[in-house]
Amino acid sequence: MRNAIEFEVYGKYALFTDPLTKMGGEKLSYQVPTYQALKGIVESIYWKPTLLMIVDEVRVMKPIQMESKGIRPIEYGGGNTLANYTYLKDVHYQVRAHFIFNPYRPDMAFDRNENKHHNILKRSLKAGGRRDIFLGTRECQAYVEPCVFGEGEGFYDQYGEIHLGTMVHGINYPDETGRSEMEVRLWNPVMKNGIIQFIRPDQCTKVRKIAGMDLKYFDKTNVESADELLKKLEEGGNK
C-alpha cells in the first residue's frame, strides 16, 4: 500500500480502557487495542498536521491475558484514592498503517512532500519512534520495531472468528473532520484468525458528539516542512 509502514509493538502491560468501567473509578481494558490507541502509537512514531494517519489492521500475536492491580491514582483535588485496574499483560501486536494528506488542512499545502514524509516516517520507526510509545495509558510503556505484517506464528492464527461486541473506534477532532466539535465513534469489530481489519473513521455510522472544539491553527511560523526536517536529519546522520 502507498505510504505504508508495518511494525510490531509490544510491552509488559496494556490498558485500552472500556469507558463503561470508569463510572466507579475502576478501569477494565478491552481485550484488543482500539483504532485510536494504535493511531496514537503511529503518531508517536511520526506526526505532522499535514498528515492523516490511517490504521488498516492489527494482528494479535499472543494470547489475551488479564491481570488486576490495586492502584493509588492521584485525585484532581489533591491526594490519592484507591482503585482497581485490570490490565492486559504480555502483549504483542503487528500493525499495518499508512498516511494520506489531511484534506482539512489546506493551510499545510506547503508541506505536502509525500516521498520525504514517508522516508522520515520509516526512519523514525527504525529509531523506535520520535516520542515515547504507550499501550493505552502512560504507565504501559511499549516498544516499536519494523516488521513484515503476517510473518511469524500468532496465537490466534487458526482460531476462526471472535466477535468483540461494541467498542470505541476512536475520537473525531476538528482537524480530521472539518467540524468544530469533538465526537466519539463506535463500531462492532470481528477478529478473524487473530487479525482485525479496521474500517476508516468516515465509515463509522455510530457517532456521538462530545463537545464543541475549535481547529488549532498551523502555518509556516510554527511548523517545520518535511524538506527542512529531512535535511536536518541527513546532516545529523553525516556527523
CATH of the domain at 79: 3.30.70.2660
Does some domain include residue 226? no
Q: Kindly state whether residue 85 falls inside one of the protein's structural domains.
A: yes
Is 227 a member of any domain?
no
Q: For position 239, what pLDDT does the model report?
A: 44
Kindly report the pTM of this predicted structure. 0.91
> 28: domain range?
4-217
> What pLDDT, on a 0 to 100 scale, did the predictor assign at position 44?
97
Q: Report how many domains make up the chain.
A: 1
* Residues in the chain with pLDDT values less than 70: 237-239
> Quick check: is 23 in a domain?
yes
Q: Does residue 113 belong to any structural domain of this protein?
A: yes
pLDDT in tens, 202-231: 999 999 999 999 888 887 777 888 888 778
Give the model's pLDDT for residue 237. 63
Q: What is the pLDDT at residue 107?
A: 85
Q: Does residue 168 fall inside a structural domain?
A: yes
Tell me whether residue 11 is in a domain.
yes
Q: Please report the pLDDT score of residue 234 as a whole number.
A: 79
DSSP collapsed to 3 states, the chain: CCCEEEEEEEEEEECCECHHHCCCCCEEECCCCCHHHHHHHHHHHCCCCCEEEEEEEEEECCCCCEEEEEECCECCCCCECCEEEEEEEEEEEEEEEEEEECCCCHHHHHHCCHHHHHHHHHHHHHCCCCCCCECCCCCCECEEEECCCCCCCCCCCCCCEEECCCEEEEEECHHHHCCCEEEEEEECCEEECCEEECCCHHHCCEEEEEEECCCCCCCCCCCCCHHHHHHHHHHHHCC
In a domain, 206, yes or no: yes
